[in-house]
Amino acid sequence: MSQKALSRFHQPISVPGRRLLAHVSLEFVGKKVSGGGHKGVNHEIPLIPFIDFLLCIVLFLLASFSASGELPVDKSVRLPAADNVEDMTLAPMIAVAGQLILVDGIPAGTTRPVKEANRMQKLDELFNLLKGRREVFKQINPGKDPPGIAVLQVDREVEAVVVKSVFQTCALAGYPNVSFMVKNRGGGKKKT
């Protein structure tokens, strides 16, 4: 190679500086790149307000988190009271309020057929939903038996035939261990 060809690659060491769009000969571009007497494009986030904002978010999340696993109870449902209670377990929550049956907040039928017949009977929608949950558990955890625990959240005014029908449907769907959600009177021993 000739000396002339190599000389174009040899440049003296210079102090680094702004080079972005500096070679453009348009005057307004040069002003914009150098700041042009206006505020700089790079703006720093004020640190103290940002920390205050993050602190508020953390406090909100801590206040709304429930470590005991308690589920919020519908305010219209009046739970029965009991002396001997246990902590909540991870199980499907079956709520019976009025004529509506909910499983973890998902509608699972009504109590109307039981009330009209005035006798115990299997509630098909509830049965199918619980059976489906049991199958999903088996697919997620192969080789492991589902625990078979369900929690009933029933108003005190619900008729006994409805409670028995829901209880029987849970047992038929593979949830024979049914617990009732109650208010703790505080007089008895707490089982752990």
pLDDT tens digits for 111-157?
888 888 888 888 888 889 889 888 888 888 888 888 888 888 888 78
- Give the residue ranges of DSSP H helices in the chain: 3-7, 27-34, 47-64, 112-117, 124-140, 160-172
Residue 91: its H or E element: none
d(CA 149, CA 88): 11
Q: Taking the domains of the chain in order of start, what are their residue ranges?
A: 19-67, 81-185
Query: pLDDT band at 56, cuts 50/70/90?
Result: very high
The per-residue pLDDT for 192 is: 47
Provide the CATH number for the domain formed by 81-185 in this structure: 3.30.420
Taking a C-beta distance cutoff of 8 angstroms, is the pair 32, 18 a contact?
no
Mean pLDDT score of the chain: 75
Comparing 72 with 65, which gets the higher pLDDT? 65
Least confident range of 9-18, 102-111, 164-173: 9-18
With a cut of 50, say whether residue 80 has pLDDT above it. Answer: yes
SS3 (DSSP) at 139: helix
Comparing 128 with 106, which gets the higher pLDDT? 128
* Pair type for strands 93-97 and 183-184: unpaired
Average pLDDT rounded to a whole number, residues 166-192: 75
- Nearby residues of 85 by Cβ (< 8 Å), 6 or more positions away: 182, 184, 188, 190, 191
- Nearby residues of 142 by Cβ (< 8 Å), 6 or more positions away: none
pTM of the model: 0.53
* Residue 189 DSSP class: P
